[in-house]
Amino acid sequence: MTTMKTLEAPVRLDSVHKTYGSRENAVAALRGVTIDFPAGSFTAVMGPSGSGKSTLLHCAAGLDEPTSGTVTLVGTPLAGKSETELTELRRDHVAFVFQSFNLMPALNVEQNVMLPALLAGRTPDAAWVAQVIDRVGLSQRVKHRPGELSGGQQQRVAIARALAGKPAVTFADEPTGALDTETALEVLSLLRELANSGQTIVMVTHDPVAASFADNVLFLVDGSIVTQMAGPTVEQVAARLAQLGAQAKQARRQR
Ligand SMILES: Nc1ncnc2c1ncn2[C@@H]1O[C@H](COP(=O)(O)OP(=O)(O)OP(=O)(O)O)[C@@H](O)[C@H]1O
């Protein structure tokens, strides 16, 4: 029995606007985004280059501050929070998985997975660390350094590190961008499992295959969510992207 579904969504954006620069240099990266990411949901964020995907992820994670509107992360409104408060909130509830893995090259697999706990001044739970490393299939590699692992294995270390802190939310920015097809599928299956076990996953991707692992796809154009797709298939996502691309081209011609 889980009570997850009855709780407030761990990530909520309400009328979020983000404008970079000012006056003649102003760029409206988000233009009024309202969306809830429910507990245990896996959402893919897609859209053309420059449509605001990374900005949405950064605002949702408290890494960037909206110009207006509100972001609520695990029940805490982010407005007015200090950098220290935001760092603590992220440390306790949020994990990140990036295209570039972001592992420490001098540390082995086990040490990389333990690092967030050590940085937070906590004693890592060795049994749990061993369990998450096993879960991503790397228990034979605990003493290896990132340089001795394949790209897919490195990304699995990054996912194990994300898992180790038992975060409520994982933000992933093109997590399979640097991986071959087979390892990409392994990483996506892991993210899918995490969502099934109650974590909330928000993933920016350009890849319809990656998006097809999500429960829901948000399509951003020019800083607005123009459409959503539940239960996406690769073909449906690819077709919608092509359609949005054609519309954007036509809109540019008419300007
Ligand atoms: N720090 C910044 N200063 C000025 N403009 C920015 C900054 N960051 C992003 N932008 C602009 O905001 C808009 C949205 O950028 P964002 O990176 O969110 O898009 P994206 O959809 O993630 O793009 P891509 O798929 O190319 O990574 C773009 O026009 C971009 O040039």
Domains identified in the chain and CATH numbers: 10-254 (3.40.50.300)
Q: Is 26 in the pocket of ligand 1 (CB under 6 A)?
A: no
Instruction: Tell me how crowded residue 2 is: count the other CB atoms within 10 A of its CB.
Output: 10
pLDDT for 7 equals: 62
* ipTM > 0.85, yes or no: yes
Q: Per DSSP, what are the bridge partners of residue 72?
A: 12, 77
Mutating to test ligand 1, I would choose from 22, 51, 203 the residue with most ligand atoms within 8 A of its C-beta, which is 51
**Dihedral sign computed on CA atoms, order 95, 97, 102, 103:** positive
More confident residue, 119 or 145: 145
C-beta of 20 in contact with ligand 1 (< 6 A): yes
Nearest CA to ligand 1 atom 7: 20
Segment among 3-7, 132-136, 187-191 with least mean pLDDT: 3-7
Task: Evaluate: CB of 176 within 6 angstroms of ligand 1.
Answer: no
Name residue, tokens 């990054």: 158
- Does residue 124 line the site of ligand 1, with CB under 6 A? no
More confident residue, 208 or 248: 208
- Angle CA(177)–CA(180)–CA(185) in degrees, nearest 5? 85
More confident residue, 228 or 197: 228
pLDDT exceeds cutoff 50 at 244 = yes
Q: Which residues pair with 45 in a beta bridge?
A: 204, 218
**pTM summary value:** 0.89
pLDDT band for position 183 (cuts 50, 70, 90): confident
Rounded mean pLDDT, 213-220: 97
Least confident of 2-6, 58-62, 111-115, 237-241: 2-6
Question: How confident is the model at residue 240, as a pLDDT?
Answer: 94
Ligand 1 neighbourhood includes 53 CB (under 6 angstroms): yes
CB 34 within 8 A of CB 16: yes
What is the reported pLDDT for 1?
43
Stretch 80-104: mean pLDDT, rounded?
89
- Protein residue with least CA distance to atom 16, ligand 1: 52
Tell me the mean pLDDT in the region 228-240. 96
224-234 burial: b if 16+ Cβ within 10 Å, else e: ebeeebeebee
Please tell me the predicted confidence (pLDDT) of residue 2: 45
Q: What is the DSSP string of the chain?
A: ---GGGSPPSEEEEEEEEEES-GGG-EEEEEEEEEEE-TT-EEEEE-STTSSHHHHHHHHTTSS--SEEEEEETTEE-TT--HHHHHHHHHHHEEEEETT----TTS-HHHHHHHHHHHTT----HHHHHHHHHHTT-GGGTT--GGGS-HHHHHHHHHHHHHHT--SEEEEESTTTTS-HHHHHHHHHHHHHHHHTT-EEEEE-S-HHHHTTSSEEEEEETTEEEEEEES--HHHHHHHHHHHHHHHHHHHHH-
Tell me the CA–centroid distance for residue 181 and ligand 1, in Å. 27
pLDDT confidence of residue 15: 98
Q: Whose Cα sits closest to atom 31 in ligand 1? A: 50
Please give the average per-residue pLDDT across 140-155, as a whole number: 93
Assess whether pLDDT exceeds 80 at residue 248.
no
In percent, the amount of the chain with pLDDT more than 90 equals 65
pLDDT at 4: 46
Average pLDDT over residues 211-230: 96
Average pLDDT (41-45) is: 97
Position 84 scores a pLDDT of 93
